[in-house]
Amino acid sequence: MSDLTTRVVMAAWALFMLSWALGWLLKGSPIPIYRVKRFGQDMVEDAIMGAFWLAVGTSIFALIKYLASAF
């Protein structure tokens, strides 16, 4: 179970990095279309929120795992 959890968390962090990088690429691109730049900004914001909740969820899961092994 731990191996599966580790793989899922690593895939989620990789997806965060990909969406964050793509968001900044779109936001900083020289394309004169405002919608594309706004979409890039939205991707960056969503990636940061996703990373926050991923970190919180991973911490809670680690705490539960620690408490379960301690008792």
Q: How many CA atoms lie within 13 A of 62 on its CB side?
A: 8
Q: Where are the domains of the chain?
A: 2-70
Report pLDDT for 42.
96
d(CA 23, CA 49): 13
Report pLDDT for 1.
59
pLDDT in tens, 14-54: 999 999 999 999 999 998 999 999 999 999 999 999 999 99
Report pLDDT for 18.
97
Q: Indicate if the pLDDT at residue 3 is higher than 90.
A: no
The torsion angles phi and psi of 61, rounded to 5 degrees, stand at: -65, -40
Give the gyration radius of the chain's Cα atoms: 17
